[in-house]
Chain A
Amino acid sequence: MKTFISPLRSIAATVALLVPLAASAADITLLNVSYDPTRELYQEFNAAFAKYWKAKAGDNVTIKQSHGGAGKQARAVVDGLEADVVTLALAYDIDEISSKAKLIPKDWQKRLPHNSSPYTSTIVLLVRKGNPKGIKDWDDLVKPGVSVITPNPKTSGGARWNYLAAYAYALKHNNNDDTKAKEFVAKLYKNVSVLDSGARGSTTTFVERGIGDVFISWENEAFLALKELGPDKFELIVPSLSILAEPPVTIIDKVVDKHKTRAVSQAYLEYLYSDEGQDIAGKNYYRPTKPEIAAKYAKQFPAVNLIKIDDVFGGWQKAQKTHFADGGVFDQIYAK
């Protein structure tokens, strides 16, 4: 009798333990509002995080993605789109979410390592195979007859990095003369035939529609184009100078508190810094910030002379106000 009852008791005890667990497994949905080119990155990352969270907390997490020009995406969140997390192209757009909508605290960027940027990137030039127009550096983009593809800095975060990289080049080669730099970017944008609203749109224009001679591109977009369509179609040109792009991430506090998803949203972003998260970033051609993983992917990325926005432009607030606000330099130089 004892030998019969003991296993029964063990089974009963196990079931008693499991039932609450099974009963408490929740179905959670998060919305990640991201910038344009990160689709492949988050497709892979989301699957990995869902598996990780299921094993850790037992909950089923579904992450819905929204992609678009970073500026437009930030405005959508300010206007009420209930994002649990944002993973945008530049800090200024997230600052807007804080200042205009008061959805996150002002010091949001300090809450995660590396100024809340789990990966970095930069801007490179993508040309047709054989480089028929002989593009080697930024000054080749202002030559007559060269058709340039880049998105609209008023809507796209990547486009603003592009613009600032070109402007920084012009400053360096003109003794920091803003007037000359302004003329330089004016000539460059005169050569732009199509101004898409986001980086992925520009990729479509250059790669799929076959428009333009050179595409000022996110580094990851350039690698993606080479990978998807083969190195026999395009070549990557590393300019002599480019900009360190730090796409930041944050939870949207008021939304996660309303949705009661703070814990899982925080874990989601922290997982970007984990070994697996960093590895996925590297695989998708984003430069990991974790030294061990960065070393693993070091050979994948070309060596680029990178300037920082704080050093050359005084930070995003100043750069936005000077160049991209209504009536700023971009509005002055770009004829619609």
Chain B
Amino acid sequence: MTFRRKIIASLIIGSGVIGASGQALANDSEELEKLRALVQELDQKIRVLDRKSELAAEDAAAKKKDTPVVKASASGFGLESADGKNSIKLRGVLQADYRLYDSGANDVRNRTSNRAGNIDVISGFHDASDTALLRRVRPTIEGTLFGKYDYRFTPDFGNGSAQVVDAYIDARFDPAFKVRAGKFKSFVGLERLQSGSDIKFLERSYVTNAILPNRDLGIAVHGDVLGNKLNYAFGIVNGVADGGNISSGSEFNQDKEFTGRLFATPFKDNDSALAGLGFGIGGTYTDFQGEKNLNFTDTSAADGTRNGLPSYVSNGQQTFFRYGGGVIADGKRTRIAPQANYYIGPLGIIAEYARVSQEVSKATDGSTAAGGGNINTTIVAGTNKTLHHDAWQVAASYLLTGEDASFKGVKPKRDFDLDKGGWGAWELVGRYSEIELDKDTFKDGAGLYAAEFGGTSTAAQAASRAYSDLTKSAESAHSWTAGVNWYLNSNAKISLNYEHTEFDGGALQKGLVQATNNNASGSNVRDREDERALLARFQVAF
């Protein structure tokens, strides 16, 4: 019985266990299905999330192609379209200068003004005045449209005036064929084409500031050919006086000026020592034949021009030469300017020569602005002459901190940062330049030194008057410049130049008063006082 109970009990228990297991299995199976379904659902959700993330990234990449790019860097601030074809950029140059004159006379034009204070009674000159000034305050808006039309607009608020310096469009149809139209630097001189923030000296040489044109209004074709080793430029412009910068938009005469320049860098991209050599030639030609605007005054670097003729300034920016008020540009003006530069490692050298051949005549009467008596102007027959003025310069720069010299600015290897031990870039510079005016400028019809033919001179006086007075204007200037540039970083620069200029002529002999003008032999002429000046600049450019 016990055995049977045991068996029955076992059977009862066993069937219970089996029943319970079967139920458990069935429950497990359901659970598994639910889990499987849940896993599949979760798998789908993860896949959906991944795919949405993928599509969002594709959308973002597609939008990026259309999203404009905002740029802010040491080279300016700007906005550019996603494809890079349209952009606008804000840049700027600010130069705060100080001019300290150890000796030197002031502008020749100020000789007759009455002023209190020190005056060289003999020569009639005041001392050149020490001065702080804003030399350049130039915000620039530039950019590109449709990938090939560059534009640039630069006003200048320095030197106590406001004017438009650059305003042009440059159509880059091809690297070998570009067209520039508007107001722009004439493609003539080498040093002029260097940016005002990149020049090695505070003021450019006589070649650039005196003889060759600054900026003009017109159109030019230019480009780079022969593997970018030859740059050419040919222009037709209104024509400006030497060193001139058209500001008013009007002009002295309807005749246009042709400009041209070729500049070669044949060893560029070579490994040779000549890789940094560039040389070329520039020139201008015009012929003033038609009516002349004798009211025309065009602002140049330091002095208003008159009658289509320039004034020339010293390295300390004091005018030392001016034509007489009755002298006008009349006929041809030709300029020729061979030029070269060479860069190797930290050393840079630039050499330029320029000659201007200017036909001038003496004219009577004319407007008061031209120095006349406000009646019709008459060109005095037989007074036409071609005057040849020459200038040249050789300048060198040397970077002490190991950067490579170049035509463009200097980017220091290490910015000035006392914490990090960086001293910026240091550069020594030196230059010799001179300008020689044609001696016939100061001579009369008989070839003798004479007083200048002024605005109130009469026709009868023409034969015995010169185009300029050697007791007021110098016939040559010879300048030495030594300096140092400290580039704190690629945007800030501090410069110091010491200038020493000697003149031939340009003042009246001792013991004479200015009422006594030049004499035939020129014995009442003495040299204008040497100019010794320390010029300093703090510049920020971006």
Contact = CB atoms under 8 A, between A and B. Distances in A.
B55 interface: yes
B47 interface: yes
B44 A194 contact: no
A209 B51 contact: yes
A46 interface: no
B50 interface: yes
A47 B490 CA distance: 55
Interface string A145-168: 001000000000000000000000
Contacts of A201: 55
By CB atoms of chain A within 10 A, which of B47, B51, B59 has the most?
B51
A193 interface: yes
A78 to B, nearest CB: 15
Interface in B87-104: none
A209 B52 CA distance: 11
A96 interface: no
Contacts of B48: 193-194, 211
A197 B60 CA distance: 13
A147 B40 CA distance: 12
B59 to A, nearest CB: 8
B42 to A, nearest CB: 13
Contacts of B47: 209-211
Interface string A92-106: 000000000000000
Nearest to A212: B44
B238 to A, nearest CB: 38
A197 B51 contact: no
Interface in B30-66: 44, 47-48, 50-52, 55, 59
By CB atoms of chain B within 10 A, which of A194, A201, A210 has the most?
A194
A278 B308 CA distance: 79
Q: Is the interface of B mostly helix, strand, loop or mixed?
A: helix
A155 to B, nearest CB: 11
A196 B44 contact: no
A194 B59 CA distance: 14
A205 interface: yes
Nearest to B37: A145
Contacts of B52: 194
Interface in A32-91: none
Interface residues of B, number: 8
A205 B51 CA distance: 7
Contacts of A193: 44, 48
Nearest to A132: B40
A147 B55 contact: no
B51 A147 contact: no
A196 B62 CA distance: 14
Given A147-B44, A211-B44, A196 B55 contact: yes
A147 B48 CA distance: 10
Nearest to B43: A210
A309 B24 CA distance: 58
A151 to B, nearest CB: 11
B358 to A, nearest CB: 52
Contacts of A196: 55
A201 B50 CA distance: 14
A201 B44 CA distance: 17
A328 B332 CA distance: 76
Nearest to B54: A209
Contacts of B55: 194, 196-197, 201
Contacts of B51: 194, 205, 209, 211
Interface string A123-141: 0000000000000000000
A303 B55 CA distance: 35
By CB atoms of chain A within 10 A, which of B44, B50, B59 has the most?
B44
A211 B55 CA distance: 14
A193 B45 CA distance: 9
Interface string A185-206: 0000000011011000100010
Interface string A230-247: 000000000000000000
Interface in B266-300: none
A201 B48 CA distance: 13
B61 to A, nearest CB: 12
A136 to B, nearest CB: 21
B276 to A, nearest CB: 42
Contacts of B50: 209
A335 to B, nearest CB: 15
Interface in A261-316: none
A221 to B, nearest CB: 17
Nearest to B46: A211
A147 B55 CA distance: 18
A209 B55 CA distance: 12
A209 B48 CA distance: 8
Interface string B467-500: 0000000000000000000000000000000000
Nearest to A208: B51
A207 to B, nearest CB: 12
A20 B48 CA distance: 61
Contacts of A211: 44, 47-48, 51
A205 B48 CA distance: 9
A127 B52 CA distance: 21
A304 B44 CA distance: 31
Interface string B330-358: 00000000000000000000000000000
Nearest to A72: B62
A193 B44 CA distance: 10
Given A197-B59, A211-B47, A211-B51, 11 more contacts: A147-B44, A193-B48, A194-B55, A196-B55, A197-B55, A201-B55, A205-B51, A209-B47, A209-B51, A210-B47, A211-B44
The 3 tightest CB contacts between A and B, nearest first, are A193-B48, A211-B47, A209-B51
11 contacts: A193-B44, A193-B48, A194-B52, A194-B55, A196-B55, A197-B55, A209-B47, A209-B51, A211-B47, A211-B48, A211-B51
